[in-house]
Amino acid sequence: MSLTRIRHRALHGKVMSAAQAAGFIRDGMTVGMSGFTRAGDCKAVPEALAARAAHDPLHITLITGASLGHDTDRLLAEAGVLARRLPFQVDRSLRRKINAGEVMFIDQHLSETVEQLRSHHLAPIDVAVIEAVAITETGGIVPTTSVGNSAQFAQQARQVIVEINLSMPEALEGLHDIYVPQDRPARQPVPLTSPAQRIGQPFIAVDPSRIAAIVFTDKPDSPSNVLPPDDETRAIAGHINRFLMDEVHAGRMPATLHPLQAGIGTIANAVLQGFEDSDLQGLTMYSEVLQDSAIALLDSGKLAFASAASMTLSEPVYRRVIENLDFYRSRLVLRPQEISNLPEIVRRFGIIALNTALEFDIYGNVNSTHVNGTHMMNGIGGSGDFARNAHLSIFVSKSVARDGDISSVVPMVPHVDHTEHDVDVLVTEMGLADLRGLAPRERALRVIEHCAHPDYRADLKDYFQRACRRAGGQTPHLLDEAYSWHTRYARTQTMRRAPARAREAEVVLAG
Amino acid sequence: MSLTRIRHRALHGKVMSAAQAAGFIRDGMTVGMSGFTRAGDCKAVPEALAARAAHDPLHITLITGASLGHDTDRLLAEAGVLARRLPFQVDRSLRRKINAGEVMFIDQHLSETVEQLRSHHLAPIDVAVIEAVAITETGGIVPTTSVGNSAQFAQQARQVIVEINLSMPEALEGLHDIYVPQDRPARQPVPLTSPAQRIGQPFIAVDPSRIAAIVFTDKPDSPSNVLPPDDETRAIAGHINRFLMDEVHAGRMPATLHPLQAGIGTIANAVLQGFEDSDLQGLTMYSEVLQDSAIALLDSGKLAFASAASMTLSEPVYRRVIENLDFYRSRLVLRPQEISNLPEIVRRFGIIALNTALEFDIYGNVNSTHVNGTHMMNGIGGSGDFARNAHLSIFVSKSVARDGDISSVVPMVPHVDHTEHDVDVLVTEMGLADLRGLAPRERALRVIEHCAHPDYRADLKDYFQRACRRAGGQTPHLLDEAYSWHTRYARTQTMRRAPARAREAEVVLAG
């Protein structure tokens, strides 16, 4: 019955078990797997690979679109399979091994991975494992809920394993627009001039002779796990909404804004939800991921069209999309991430980029990735592709973390993912700092005033003023105490200075 | 006689003295001036403005292409005219005022300034002052030795002052290709697919009614002041040459390479000179500035074509170009810097980007701008436009400065202009570190081994190993000593640790 999903009949003989298919993956290989922010990842082959590694150890380089669902990264990491991993991950076990130096993790701009493969700066893909809803009459692979890097993986790999997911309806066919740029230096302009335009094919074209195995699965995607908005994320959304409306009223943007990009996660989701209550209409998204909020905006008509590399939805919203594909088909497109995130397009469209910061400093440099400057969280993802080339580059964060013991606004970030040049607007629940056209000393005052939590504002101002007096410069800093907030946290579990009263108490106790 | 240079006769009445023309510039205005790395800057009006400020104080925002010649920034800074300056400068007096917090300097990616003007993120240009060789029959402005941001300045300004430079031959007409992208979000792809292609007009189209004044001058450009190669820069050039030849032999690039970009300055010049001795042929440049070395490569036939936003030449090389314009006209084009530096094109062409670092750290983060993390040197210039989007992003530096008291390879840079994500290859006279496809811990070992000066290698390794042991993480650092090299230099004028023997001597003396 399920063989009807393999419309290129010559491939019927390639159907096998996941364990058999996993046999194509051997020690030392570079493997490219579908999957972008938990959507459209292959489910069966990685599991079989992890199971096999228990008795037959092997080490591979694993390249994906972005993060995987189904604890795949945990299974593979714990089975010792991952020697090298790129370009993004969100798994706790894998993260532990990365930070212990046991897995070599290459953190990359998400648009660049396949560019580096194409340029042979990375080892070539030996085996690609791609989730699909079907294989077409010509052997083309129809992806599921993400495209990610699958097109280039499949086209470059010596051998391709296709996982046909029977839980995904064949009606997903037609949602994808697969455009693959030419090799450089003789590349043509990518002809996209609006988010809704289609410039490619609805499947990944591959030579069917390279399809080495086909595996059937029926596991749905891991549902998204974003939290509902809280008071802080609602406040952040409110600041951004007002700011964008002001831009429209000042004549700096049309009422439909420019195409929006929103990073993955709870805050970005809340910001988009906030648009429901705004007067904005006819919006478009040109993003890497669509979350629940994007679907809700399509439903309400606020959003006219959404383009992305994946959709990462909660279970009920996924159901709604699947059951109403005819509605969404004319309002949604999924593209390769090198197109969804391409600097050429981001700059051409003048995208409004909304991304989440782990922390930022008073001059507007952003750390998106490294806890305390050393430990990898998830990776830079596509934030750099968008922030650098955006019309407006907005970064958001709550002003504090860990019950207020960590300030997200610090004197100097101990890891820079986005430099001050690439950050136009910073937002916390406290307010919004519009940094456009300001020099660093001006930025500092605005960031402290508008974004820092009141508990830390005086200390930040004190640092800034002493840095201006003692060091001076374009970007005043005191290098011997720039990281004192971080080292204090490591020592005392809080960035707060010991308050006078607490210090007295300590003295009394000590006495 | 010189009126023949004003072919739109209705404008003949606009000829006036520089002092009169400078009268259009009033307190509080935003002024856009031509000029990119000392080439094609206006010479007379800024001087008149500085003279006037002595008795009639005024403060302006000055925006240019990049740096100016003729001590213009010094004159204007010392006259107190500059309240705000962007996007680049190289002047000692201005730098002093910037670092004292007296002039607000906005350091920008050079492709982005006019984008921000177009988006109204910066205050609009009140007056543009543009150097030209002629005004066409339709009132079009024919630039001189640079295009820079002149096109957008002239098209946006309420009033335009043209400085016709009689020392520049009219035969420069035809060298320029002025293409101005449409406003966003409805922008078309920039149709450039090779460095030699022309997609615009040979002049800046403006409404002649906005040309408020025309001034005649005859001062040549300030000649370039790059130093001749020395042993270190020759060694750096040798490493890069060998690396590129290896790339060709490995089949990762054609024998003509990809189009080259080379930053301004002595090292970049030396690297290009080094190509003379290589087997490379049929090269192209797609760069922001052409220095003497590019002209020499055109002369020798190594370079088939060169595209840039300006040419910054020594006096004899400038003469050679001017006297042989027929030869160079088919081998050279000057474009607006938003096109020469456009991420869309840099990515499409797969450019090889060669830029100079002030210092870099063991993980490959680059500081291009801030001495000791606080004091502005020149600005980021176009390095970010190129490095982020390049096929190969190469940064070069001598391994030490100040007679070896400063190591250019440090544990952590105190200012990040280019993150590890945007740096593929690092080169000093000691060697070349190819960082492609490596995780940070792997990068560190390679950078220390290949790039650091032997005097600092053991200390860097010691820092790295202790950071791995004590802190761990994806990017191991010891935050309490990450900047100890910089603070030691500030304290003792050297990054070297006091050697054991010297310490003993101190003890003996103290005893």
What class has domain B2-217? Answer: alpha beta
Give residue B265's pLDDT: 82
Chain B, 21 to 80: residues with Cβ < 8 Å from chain A are: none
Cβ contacts (< 8 Å) between A119 and chain B: which residues?
A: 252, 350, 391
Cβ contacts (< 8 Å) between B188 and chain A: which residues?
A: 193, 348
Give residue B266's pLDDT: 85
Query: Residues in chain A, how many?
Result: 511
Question: In chain B, whose CA is at the least distance from the CA of A471?
Answer: B374
pLDDT digits (tens, 9 = 90+) for B342-392: 999 999 999 999 999 999 999 999 999 999 999 999 999 999 999 999 999
**E strand or H helix that includes residue B294:** helix B292-300
What three-state secondary structure class fits A128? strand
Q: How many angstroms separate the CA atoms of A233 and A446, rounded?
A: 21
Give residue A499's pLDDT: 65
Domains A2-217 and A231-454 share a fold: yes
Give residue A503's pLDDT: 46
Q: How many angstroms separate the CA atoms of A5 and B293, rounded?
A: 61
Give residue A247's pLDDT: 96
The CATH code of the domain at B231-487 is 3.40.1080.10
Instruction: Return the closest-CA partner of residue A235 out of A13, A478, A408, A451.
Output: A451
Does A391 reach chain B within 8 Å, measured CB to CB? yes
Mean pLDDT of the residues in chain B: 95
pLDDT in tens, chain A (511 residues): 589 999 999 999 999 999 999 999 999 999 999 999 999 999 999 999 999 999 999 999 999 999 999 899 999 999 999 999 999 999 999 999 999 999 999 999 999 999 999 999 999 999 999 999 999 999 999 999 999 999 999 999 999 999 999 999 999 999 999 999 999 988 999 999 999 999 999 999 999 999 999 999 999 999 988 888 899 999 999 999 999 999 999 999 999 999 999 988 888 888 898 888 888 889 999 999 999 999 999 999 999 999 999 999 999 999 999 999 999 999 999 999 999 999 999 999 999 999 999 999 999 999 999 999 999 999 999 999 999 999 999 999 999 999 999 999 999 999 999 999 999 999 999 999 999 999 999 999 999 999 999 999 999 999 999 999 999 999 999 999 999 999 999 999 999 987 655 444 444 444 3
pLDDT digits (tens, 9 = 90+) for A268-304: 888 898 888 888 889 999 999 999 999 999 999 999 9
Question: In chain A, whose CA is at the least distance from the CA of B99?
Answer: A473
Instruction: Please check whether residue B288 is in contact with residue B310, taking contact to mean a CB–CB distance below 8 angstroms.
Output: yes
pLDDT digits (tens, 9 = 90+) for B95-120: 999 999 999 999 999 999 999 999 99
Q: Is the peptide bond before B202 cis (omega within 30 degrees of 0)?
A: no
Average the pLDDT over B169-185 and give the result.
96
CB atoms within 10 A of CB A223: 16
The domain spans of chain A are 2-217, 231-454
Instruction: Return the closest-CA partner of residue B373 out of A437, A421, A469, A467.
Output: A467
Task: Quickly state the pLDDT bin for B500 (edges 50, 70, 90).
Answer: low
Does B468 reach chain A within 8 Å, measured CB to CB? yes
Top residue of B348, B378, B435 to mutate, by most chain A CBs within 10 Å, is B348
Residue A84, amino acid: R
Q: How many angstroms separate the CA atoms of B99 and B86, rounded?
A: 14
Top residue of B122, B183, B347 to mutate, by most chain A CBs within 10 Å, is B347
Q: B2 to chain A, minimum CA–CA distance in Å?
A: 40
DSSP secondary structure code for residue A182 in this structure: P
What is the CATH T-level fold of the domain A231-454, as seen in this structure? Glutaconate Coenzyme A-transferase (3.40.1080)
Q: Residue A341, annotated ligand binder?
A: no
Bridge pairing between strands A400-401 and A406-407? antiparallel
CA B255 to chain CA mean position, Å: 27
Average the pLDDT over B301-321 and give the result.
96
Task: Quickly state the pLDDT bin for B508 (edges 50, 70, 90).
Answer: very low
Query: Above 80 in pLDDT, residue B151?
Result: yes
Question: In chain A, whose CA is at the least distance from the CA of B259?
Answer: A185
Instruction: Compute, in degrees rounded to 10, the torsion defined by CA atoms B290, B447, A84, A207.
Output: 30
Bridge pairing between strands A366-367 and A359-361? antiparallel
Q: Which residue has the higher pLDDT, B274 or B175?
A: B175
Query: Above 50 in pLDDT, residue B306?
Result: yes
Q: A447 to chain B, minimum CA–CA distance in Å?
A: 16
pLDDT digits (tens, 9 = 90+) for B229-288: 899 999 999 999 999 999 999 999 999 999 999 988 888 888 898 888 888 889 999 999
Does A260 reach chain B within 8 Å, measured CB to CB? no
Q: Give the list of residues 6+ apart from residue A510 with CB closer than 8 angstroms, or none.
A: none
CB atoms within 10 A of CB B498: 13
Give residue B509's pLDDT: 47
Query: Above 70 in pLDDT, residue B434?
Result: yes
Structure tokens that stand for A405 in this block: 């013991």
What three-state secondary structure class fits B350? coil
